[in-house]
Amino acid sequence: MNASVSLKDKKTAFDSLFLHQGEEGMSAFGQGLEQVGHKLKEVYAETDRPFTGKSHSAIEKEIGKIMNFPRRGISLEEVLDEMEGPILRNSLHVSHPKSMAHLHCPPLLPGIIGESIIGTLNQSMDSWDQSPAATYVEEGMVRWLTGRVRYPETSDGVFTSGGTQSNYMGLLLARDYFCQTHWGHDVQKQGLPRAFTRLRILCSEDAHFTVKKSASQLGLGEQAVITVKTDEHHRMSVKDLEAALSKLGEENLLPFALVSTCGTTDFGSIDPLHDIAAVAEEYGLWLHVDAAFGGGLLLSHSHRWKLDGLEQADSITVDFHKLFYQPVSCGAFLVKNRQNFGFLSHHADYLNPLKDEDEGIVNLVTKSTSTTRRFDALKLFLSLKTIGTDTFGDMIDHTVELARYAASYIDGADNLSLKNNQPEINTIIFRYEPQSTHEFDLDELNRAIQQTLLHEGRGVIAKTTVEGMTYLKLTLLNPRTGTEEIRELMTEIEKTATQLMNGGLASV
């Protein structure tokens, strides 16, 4: 825009930049959506691989070239053309059936369309006067979710940016609840109590790293996290949990929270919820269940039972940008007793004065560690409405079936070795292990297989370390991925391994 426009002219100068009832605003809005839709369709139509395979430095260079901003704007169409190569085509195509590395889902179309509504309405979820309808949509979606969890009437929740924030909130409430009930100490007002160095959090060795990260952010340090061993299926060992608790007792330490995982990142394992809840009860621990991944089973027809006992948790993490197929970001934090949100609430005169509460006005900032917050609940609302909960369940069940198929295929292959025989959800851990020869460093070989597939754009799979060894990992979130893609991928892996062994890969 020309900086010298007079105040009088400004109205027209900016007219095509905002949505408004005038002709320019309307047509710019419609045209923009159309152009973007057209460009994305064009790119997708030509996307036959999940990733171009270019190196990070090549992509960095391409992006560098377009990072300059004109004094006078250029048309959206031109910018879309300019970014097509560097940004659109160089992106990871998460909707491709062979994109199966991480807990990173193909987004549902109603979720994507929901994003455009969210951006257009631009509601802010902190105070009712900034989200007069959205507040009740979010509250309604939370109630829907607490119903699915079979939580009592006292329960409540709030949308979050994802599992990291939800886990942090769970441990924050747990810490402050303990300090309040144990010492009558108000952490919110007084800071950490003197004996804070004795506070301990327990979780399994397969729990998400954000448990430790939260402990450090909560001022307790990573030293406060005690990791409990897992069994052969990578579920928390209740025996080891009890042993750890009795040891903490002898050491005069103060365990206050127990984090159980429903769907570990690598194996998708689900801790034995009933047994763990019983231990939490016996020792008076706050039970936080990290169901960021496994929460998707809430809609499953065949695997919902795996979450039985979830309702005993004091707080729960659920991610919608994983097994609920929503665009990033979208998550929720639930608590069994809504009064515990009191440990977070701060009354700001301009946002959520106490007087509002007296009048029954809901200001969601009271329940969140964030202030300005996105109307993410809408995309989940739109997805559930247009798809229906039955189809949602079918999608999730398909991915679990596919994981079982992949597991049995790998189990039957001569040169592949399977790590998890019975995938609990939809991740598969395996590695290439040639029967014939052992002259290769298998860690190196498997790492090279994963890298080669990525750099040739033939398949995006992950690698991980289990018991000190390198494994390959599939996260089969995409319900459009079928048995054929699994067979093709395995053939690619075998082919790549042979090429690597024949050419150049260092022998041991």
Ligand X SMILES: *Cc1c(COP(=O)(O)O)cnc(C)c1O
Please give the residue ranges that form the binding site for ligand X (CB under 6 A): 103, 162-164, 167, 208, 210, 261, 263, 265, 290, 292-293, 319, 331
Min dist CB 65 to ligand X, Å, is: 31
Min dist CB 350 to ligand X, Å, is: 29
For tokens 């309405």, name the residue: 121
Closest to ligand X by CB, 193 vs 331, is 331
Min dist CB 464 to ligand X, Å, is: 13
Min dist CB 245 to ligand X, Å, is: 22
Closest to ligand X by CB, 295 vs 393, is 295
Min dist CB 274 to ligand X, Å, is: 20
Closest to ligand X by CB, 28 vs 310, is 310
> Closest by alpha carbon to 386, among 331, 477, 325, 323?
325
Alpha-carbon span 421 to 428, nearest angstrom = 9
Closest to ligand X by CB, 146 vs 167, is 167
Which residues pair with residue 115 across a beta bridge? none
Q: How far is CA 175 from CA 15, 151, 188, 228, in A?
A: 51, 22, 11, 19
Min dist CB 462 to ligand X, Å, is: 13
Task: Please state the φ and ψ torsions of residue 421, each to the nearest 5 degrees.
Answer: -65, -35
Closest to ligand X by CB, 472 vs 477, is 477
* Per-residue b or e along 122-161, where b marks 16 or more CB atoms closer than 10 Å to that residue's CB: ebbbbbbebbeebbebbbebbeebbebbebeeebbbbbbb
For tokens 């301009």, name the residue: 350
Alpha-carbon span 308 to 294, nearest angstrom = 12
Alpha-carbon span 394 to 426, nearest angstrom = 14
Closest to ligand X by CB, 28 vs 169, is 169
Closest to ligand X by CB, 267 vs 341, is 267
Min dist CB 292 to ligand X, Å, is: 4
> Closest by alpha carbon to 258, among 268, 248, 267?
248
> 414: number of CA atoms within 13 Å, CB side?
6
> Closest by alpha carbon to 34, among 123, 106, 116, 150?
116
Alpha-carbon span 283 to 299, nearest angstrom = 32
